[in-house]
Structure 1
């Protein structure tokens, strides 16, 4: 049986083929696209389980492509590969629909750990059938849909996972370490600032739908708490 299908979108032939070969060696079904147009054709022809997306493409801006992919691929995990290190550029990519990012150069072991974590959580989410609620906020874990006062909130997968983890322990402190371990992976290699970026985006989206962003309380040096009142 073939493993999860991963599409590598990378204009550098050496990097693209090496990544595809490394993924195949780990049991994944890997494909490689050198342009944004080719990637969009392949992804719409057959939805990948995960996309590794380089932002520096020759025919289209990677953020624009990410946004297009997300409109047609609701459940596919998108991990951005980027040499851009400024925080606002990363935020733009996440807002465009990416689930995670990895800064070049990166270690192959780190990349594989990220992929396993994302795909494991994707499978667990599909198997889930529970509902979570707090006040006017409801999370349908099976459908991966968040609503506030019966209006759906468009959340990226990691934002949904974070909110679900916080709401499942509403009124209790969830440490930064627990959030990273449970929402990303116990073998997380990346910066913890990734968590802060996602929490900030989550608060903003809640506020846009009438929820109090202060419901997610920061406890400095400890973690976060979702307030029930």
Structure 2
């Protein structure tokens, strides 16, 4: 009587489960990203002021999201594609709000934003991947511009219209993207998000301390 050959268990099930987990976390991070910058847009729009907000950082951040969209299209990473389309839209609103406070030509700025999207997404789609990844690592340092501005705000005791709600939500979103990157083994995501997350947390701490110090000064003044 022939023995039935027992085949070893295949790891495909675990791999598929891990892939599904990574995909799910990516989509959740994308949803969080959609609302991340809404508080900042609302704060600048309502206050008619961008004091304490590093405008250069927001412009470069928008460029970075455009590049991430191109990278997502290239790699076929749907969470990155969907998340960056949404985030780019909200960041564009932030830029428009800032332009409004400075009484700039909004139509011209919107056209510039559209051209910027087309150019950067196209470049990220065709430029060799190692160069794109190198750009992401370099661009991850952009949020540190706000760290410097927030440090000056704390030192000088000046008002700040940086939204701490945006920073808090961004911390959550970046943490989820870091987990997503670890699960899919994408070094570009892991390195870039780690640097950005550190800067975001530090900015949140600086803005919180600044706000409390201003409140204390107001209480003492009364």
- TM bucket (normalised to shorter chain) is under 0.3
Q: Which has the higher helix share?
A: 2
Q: Which has the higher strand share?
A: 1
- TM-score by length of structure 1 reads 0.24
Query: Which is bigger in relative contact order (C-alpha 8 A, separation at least 6)?
Result: 2
